[in-house]
């Protein structure tokens, strides 16, 4: 059985990070090993969340895995809580990257032009260095602008800008970059990717559902990682991940006041499994 190591926090309530990655990756028939970075009562968009930092456990966990000769078919990182955690993850990548596995970095730190609570430009700069070690990175446009230190354009961009941004993102060192939340035509939303080695671009769009739910980035990235791990190409995997995310959003739409509680992706898992 294939095995992914995912490194992110546990937000106990408000589906995101590990509470999404575990069930979604399992649906692909892939084992999900976890390195929890922190335990929070909820994700950080709720007021008054608790935060148990697990930074000091990260390297000892990895050391034990090395002693036990444990290996991974993919290394997948999401939300990381501090500069120190980014440095530790860089070290874990060095220890566990092989010629046969891949690294997926979702540089979770910002959306809608703003950094999430607790992050600053120094964190963005170190996330940018972490992206250099990745085979694939999946930022949204806000995260891309922080990674590159370039101005955020809001909705005011065209296809040339998307292509230039993708090239610049791979200049950071990542082999492939995928921009999420791209809309070049009204009522369409999707992803635009670039493979530096092949020098090819690709995109996939679905209808734009005009509601916003927390945690959809984690639903997308977890499905993408699962699909790549079972051997789908990047293009196939992006389609699977976008379709699953859209399906999850449409199954949640009757409940938009619960936007901070994440999407009801559980209802979309049967379709996902059937589609594989
Ligand atoms: O979904 C990304 C995410 C993960 N984990 C925590 C978060 C967020 C986004 O805000 O706060 C703790």
Q: Is 79 in the pocket of ligand 1 (CB under 6 A)?
A: yes
pLDDT beyond 90 at 257: no
- Residue 19's pLDDT is what? 98
pLDDT beyond 90 at 181: yes
- Residue 259's pLDDT is what? 84
Counting ligand 1 atoms within 8 A of each CB, the residue from 9, 37, 245 with the most, and so the one to mutate, is 9
pLDDT beyond 90 at 263: yes
> What's the chain's average pLDDT?
97
Q: Which residue has the tokens 């990182």?
A: 77
Range with lowest mean pLDDT among 4-18, 113-127, 252-266: 252-266
Q: What spacing in Å lies between the alpha carbon of 200 and ligand 1's midpoint?
A: 31
Q: Decide: 119 and 110 in contact? Cβ < 8 Å.
A: yes
Compute φ and ψ for 2, nearest 5 degrees: -70, 155
Q: Is 40 in the pocket of ligand 1 (CB under 6 A)?
A: yes
- Residue 254's pLDDT is what? 86
- Residue 222's pLDDT is what? 98
| Ligand 1 atom showing the smallest separation from residue 11 Cα | 12
Q: What is the pTM of this model?
A: 0.98
Q: Is 116 in the pocket of ligand 1 (CB under 6 A)?
A: yes
Q: Is 216 in the pocket of ligand 1 (CB under 6 A)?
A: no
pLDDT tens string 42-77: 999 899 999 999 999 999 999 999 999 999 999 999
Q: Is 16 in the pocket of ligand 1 (CB under 6 A)?
A: yes
């Amino acid at each position: 059985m294939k095995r992914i190591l995912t490194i992110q926090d546990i937000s106990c309530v408000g589906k995101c990070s590990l509470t999404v990655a575990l069930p979604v990756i399992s649906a692909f028939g892939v084992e999900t090993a976890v390195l929890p970075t922190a335990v929070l009562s909820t994700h950080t968009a709720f007021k008054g969340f608790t935060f148990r930092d697990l930074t000091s456990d990260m390297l000892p966990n990895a050391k034990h895995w090395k002693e036990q000769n444990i290996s991974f078919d993919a290394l997948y990182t999401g939300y990381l809580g501090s500069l120190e955690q980014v440095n530790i993850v860089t070290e874990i990548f060095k220890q566990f990257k092989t010629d046969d596995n891949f690294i997926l970095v979702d540089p979770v730190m910002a959306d809608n032009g703003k950094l999430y609570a607790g992050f600053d430009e120094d964190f963005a700069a170190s996330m940018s260095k972490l992206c250099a070690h990745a085979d694939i990175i999946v930022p949204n446009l806000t995260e891309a602008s922080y990674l590159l230190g370039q101005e955020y354009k809001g909705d005011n961009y065209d296809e040339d800008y998307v292509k230039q941004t993708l090239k610049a993102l791979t200049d950071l060192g990542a082999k492939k970059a995928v921009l999420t939340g791209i809309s070049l035509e009204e009522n369409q939303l999707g992803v635009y990717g670039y493979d530096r080695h092949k020098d090819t671009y690709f995109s996939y769009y679905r209808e734009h559902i005009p509601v916003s739910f927390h945690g959809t980035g984690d639903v997308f990235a977890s499905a993408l990682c699962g699909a790549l791990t079972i051997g789908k190409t990047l293009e196939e995997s992006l389609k699977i991940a976008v379709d699953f995310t859209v399906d999850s959003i449409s199954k949640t739409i009757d409940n938009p006041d619960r936007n901070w509680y994440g999407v009801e992706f559980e209802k979309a898992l049967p379709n996902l499994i059937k589609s594989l």
